């Protein structure tokens, strides 16, 4: 785990493999969905946001 880039006080398991940065639940979003990313097929950030697992019920 690492610390969120925008919120360094928060530990998070979500890591953008393309930019090598960690993102907390509040910041969780793929930055460049339109730009090619070789990590996309295994990216937890992209998968979580695309499947809607980041939404609170």
Give residue limits of the domains in the chain.
2-50
pLDDT at 56: 54
Q: What is the pTM of this model?
A: 0.71
pLDDT at 9: 95
The radius of gyration of the chain from alpha carbons, rounded to an integer in Å, stands at: 11
Q: How many residues does the structure list for the chain?
A: 57
pLDDT at 53: 65
pLDDT at 40: 80
What pLDDT digit, counting tens, does each position of 1-57 carry? 899 999 999 999 889 888 889 999 899 888 877 888 888 888 878 887 776 666 654
pLDDT at 30: 83
Q: Is the distance from CB of 12 to CB of 21 less than 8 angstroms?
A: no
């Amino acid at each position: 785990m690492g610390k969120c880039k925008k919120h360094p006080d928060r530990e998070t398991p979500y890591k953008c493999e393309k930019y090598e940065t960690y993102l907390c639940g509040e910041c969780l979003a793929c930055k460049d969905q339109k730009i090619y990313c070789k990590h996309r097929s295994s990216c937890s950030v992209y998968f979580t946001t695309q499947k809607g697992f980041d939404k609170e019920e």
